[in-house]
């Protein structure tokens, strides 16, 4: 139907939907685990009700012309009430799916029955929760990465503009500043590539035998110049001195570099960064310790989640990538690839990140870990 306007235009008018009787949402059949049993009970109950009304009407001399229509109407009303409760989750899923198509993943379905429809509603809620979580992670990723990219790019752009305009001279210190920002960009891009490998399920390992002391010292040399102005002391402690173990050198270096960068960043001036490797029962344990403010117990599990941010504790505000919270998530992923674990160890001061890698050949009882590492 079209209604004319004063200016000559026409406006379509929606037809009003016919009013439908409001039926209560009754779910007395939720206790049954099978939809087939529910349908059988519904058919038997409606037929029994129709037969009872027919018998009652004929007994009271109402006659077939009034008894049969009354029995049909009452049976249909009874069936509609029970069927509404049975199909209510399906209608809720339809409405929630429409909301999801518009970007709203907060809708959930009331799953009270234990039949196939209830199981579908439960699976739908799990899917909605996963989609909501993925959408939230995506938004956080965009926000965090945009912020992290903007800072070094803006600093690098300002530095180059000053060089081009002749405001500053291209001295070694000036070029070092530009190089530092470039290295920060490279580090962030590397983390994002590692994150994409996690999403893609890339889990290739190249296991080789490593000399613990040589590998740890070489890794420390590659990161010790990051904060040279802090005059930090790096200590490598290996027990026993000739300890060798099996691991993927690239992934293990990735783990240690992330942890060492955090330790360097949060260590005070002239502080100590200690890497302690020791043989345990069927495992090798590597501790990376710093003398920073430490990690609050409430944050010790959460810091390994992607984009986790703490309230200023060590390793939480800049978890390996200048604040995105990607670094420690990558650490846990790389450790999981080795079948090991990573955790925050209890220490009286500072922060100690403990890595445990399984080593079946290290089964000597003399190499049992101390009590606090078991």
Residue 187 lies in a domain: yes
363: domain CATH number?
Answer: 3.30.565.10
pLDDT along the chain (374 residues), means of 10: 47 44 60 76 84 83 81 85 78 86 83 77 87 79 71 80 84 80 77 68 78 92 74 89 90 88 86 91 91 80 65 43 62 87 87 90 49 42
- Domain match, 365 and 288 both: yes
3 state SS of 247: strand
Residue 12 lies in a domain: no
Residue 149 lies in a domain: yes
- In order of 15, 32, 130, the CA distances from 109 in angstroms are 30, 19, 14
What does the pLDDT read at residue 72?
86
Whats the size of the chain, residue-wise?
A: 374
Residue 323 lies in a domain: yes
What does the pLDDT read at residue 215?
93
What does the pLDDT read at residue 319?
38
- Domain match, 214 and 196 both: no
| Residue 60: DSSP 8-state | T
What does the pLDDT read at residue 214?
93
- Domain match, 144 and 27 both: no
What does the pLDDT read at residue 143?
73
- Domain match, 298 and 367 both: yes
- Domain match, 79 and 212 both: no
Q: Domain count of the chain?
A: 3
- Domain match, 195 and 246 both: no
- Domain match, 271 and 148 both: no
- Domain match, 193 and 273 both: no
Question: What are the strands, taking DSSP E only, across the chain?
Answer: 2-4, 10-12, 208-211, 233-239, 244-247, 272-280, 283-290, 341-345, 351-358
Residue 99 lies in a domain: yes
- Domain match, 343 and 269 both: yes
Residue 7 lies in a domain: no
Residue showing tokens 């800072």: 151
Among candidate residues 76, 104, 125, the one where a domain is terminated: 125
Residue 3 lies in a domain: no
- Domain match, 98 and 188 both: no
- 304 lies in which domain range? 208-225+232-373
Among candidate residues 125, 144, 166, the one where a domain is terminated: 125
What does the pLDDT read at residue 203?
60
- Domain match, 296 and 271 both: yes
Residue 359 lies in a domain: yes
What does the pLDDT read at residue 57?
81
What does the pLDDT read at residue 198?
63
- Domain match, 237 and 168 both: no
DSSP 61-123: T--HHHHHHHHHHHHHHHHHHHHHHHHHHHHHHHHHHHHHHTT-----------SHHHHHHHH
Among candidate residues 96, 125, 154, the one where a domain is terminated: 125
């Amino acid at each position: 139907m079209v209604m004319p306007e004063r200016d000559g235009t026409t406006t379509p008018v929606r037809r009003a939907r016919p009013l439908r009787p409001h039926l209560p949402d009754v779910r007395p059949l939720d206790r049954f685990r099978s939809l087939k049993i529910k349908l059988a009970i519904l058919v038997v109950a409606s037929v029994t009700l129709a037969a009872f009304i027919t018998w009652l009407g004929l007994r009271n001399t109402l006659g077939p012309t009034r008894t049969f229509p009354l029995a049909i109407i009452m049976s249909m009303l009874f069936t509609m009430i029970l069927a509404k409760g049975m199909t209510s989750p399906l209608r809720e899923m339809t409405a929630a799916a429409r909301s999801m198509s518009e970007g709203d993943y907060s809708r959930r379905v009331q799953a009270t029955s234990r039949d196939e429809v209830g199981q579908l509603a439960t699976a739908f809620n799990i899917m909605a929760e996963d989609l909501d979580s993925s959408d939230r992670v995506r938004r956080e990723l965009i926000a965090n990465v945009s912020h992290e990219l903007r800072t070094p790019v803006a600093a690098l752009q300002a530095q180059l503009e000053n060089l081009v305009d002749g405001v500053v001279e291209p001295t070694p210190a000036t070029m070092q500043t530009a190089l530092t920002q470039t290295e920060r960009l490279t580090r962030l891009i590397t983390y994002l590539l590692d994150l994409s490998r996690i999403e893609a399920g890339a889990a290739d390992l190249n296991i080789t035998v490593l000399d613990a002391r040589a590998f740890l010292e070489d890794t420390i040399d590659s990161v010790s110049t990051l904060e040279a102005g802090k005059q930090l002391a790096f200590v490598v402690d290996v027990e026993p001195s000739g300890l060798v173990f099996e691991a993927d050198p690239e992934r293990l270096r990735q783990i240690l570099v992330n942890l060492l960068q955090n330790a360097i960043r949060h260590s005070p001036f002239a502080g100590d960064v200690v890497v302690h490797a020791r043989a345990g029962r069927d495992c090798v344990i590597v501790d990376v310790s710093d003398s920073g403010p430490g990690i609050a117990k409430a944050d010790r599990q959460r810091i390994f989640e992607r984009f986790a941010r703490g309230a200023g504790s060590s390793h939480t505000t800049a978890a390996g990538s200048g604040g995105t919270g990607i670094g420690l998530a990558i650490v846990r992923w790389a450790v999981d690839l080795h079948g090991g674990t990573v955790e925050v160890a209890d220490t009286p001061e500072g922060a100690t990140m403990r890595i445990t890698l399984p080593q079946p050949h290290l089964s000597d009882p003399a190499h049992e870990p101390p009590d606090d590492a078991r």
